[in-house]
Amino acid sequence: MAAKPVSELFPIPRLYYFESGNTYTGSKSQTFNYKITPSDVLKVEIWHGMICSEKAEIEIVKEFSLDQSGFDEMIKWLEETWLKENN
């Protein structure tokens, strides 16, 4: 039986991926882009357009605690941000 995805909208890896120090970048509809970077927190950056994060103007930055509670809050916030922009 496959594990339930962490998000219905985004193919984000589980918390362990970030606890191991890995960064994750993704997009939705080719123009909503996000990057999740772990350190002592989970930092999420959002930008729009067809450009990489290093060259983009980052429009939103939000941080969450690097634990299950912060991870769950991050997923909820990212989904709500996407839905707010696209409804």
Domain ranges, residue 33: 15-85
CB 36 within 8 A of CB 74: yes
| Whether the predicted pLDDT of 4 surpasses 90 | no
Report if residue 9 sits inside a domain: no
The pLDDT score that the predictor gives to residue 5 is 85
75 in Cβ contact with 55 (< 8 Å): no
Burial of 64 (C-beta count, 10 Å sphere; 0-12/13-18/19+): buried
Per residue in 54-83, pLDDT (tens digit) is 999 999 999 999 999 999 999 999 999 999
Q: How many domains does the chain have?
A: 1
Residue 51 lies in a domain: yes
Tell me, yes or no, whether 6 lies in a domain: no
